[in-house]
Amino acid sequence: MILSRPGRFTKPPPGAQINWGHPLATGLTACFLLNTGSGSADDFVYGYRGTLTNGARWVISQQGHAVDFDGVNQFISIPHTSKLMFPSSFTIVARILLNAAAVEDDVIVSKTLAVGSQTGYFFAEHNGATTIDFGFYNGVAYKVANGATGIGTNTWATVAGVFDDNADTNTVFLNGVQDGQVSSVGNVVSNTNAVEIGSKSNELGKTLDGQVAWVYLFDIAKTRAEIQWLNTEPYAFLLSASPSVKYFLPTAVGAQVPYQPWLERAPILAH
């Protein structure tokens, strides 16, 4: 049986499951696939409830379902959990579209406190630009990697931030390519605030003006190759809601891995 190939970023339907045997799933602590189109924006790993706040709304985009933010006061709020307060290495990857250049470090994902309380981490669009910043507070200073390349507006992009505690580096990636790096000695100072998508905790002047299609968080430093893979096949670690039908294809090294119709590789053969 030959199956048709969908587009590269065709989002899996509701009911998809995580394939924990897939290498891209290693370290995954939250998967906000944003594929339901209504209600809350829930995580696939532990079921963390993401509440659309102040009128943040579901939209249909080129990426399938996504959440749209107005840049004023809209965001998704996820209650505090220690699993998303990373003590050392971690990675955030997201698919975003910007409506405008940032007014003031417009935030994509954050777990911080209000002004004057320096803790946590953030992933944001740089003030006055469409470049990306990724940073955290280590108890002495914020260690921020600044991206060099502007995303522009009305264009979908995959952005990633990786803190590697072993290498003491903080790195920004744009569409799978390293775009900025800074030395980052120390670890993230913890807090008990909510995780927010589209805003920085208690600072509504730093809300995103744009759309988010999905957000993944990992408690490890993903490699450059894995970031590239997530850019080209962001749903490669997800399985169909009907696992009785399984498809396989050979990898570059000859191994057999589960294949689903929404992934883009060929040839696609029933096994």
pLDDT higher than threshold 80 for residue 240: no
pLDDT higher than threshold 70 for residue 31: yes
Amino acid 199: pLDDT:
82
Question: What's the whole-number mean pLDDT along residues 15-37?
Answer: 94
pLDDT greater at residue 168 or residue 105: 168
Q: What share of the chain is helix, strand, coil (3-state, %, to 5)?
A: 5, 40, 55
pLDDT greater at residue 259 or residue 207: 207
Q: For residue 240, what are the CA distances in angstroms to 12, 112, 244?
A: 8, 35, 9
Q: What is the number of other CB atoms lying within 10 angstroms of the CB of residue 216? A: 26
Question: What's the whole-number mean pLDDT along residues 61-87?
Answer: 91
Amino acid 166: pLDDT:
94
pLDDT higher than threshold 50 for residue 264: no
The mean pLDDT value of the chain amounts to 81
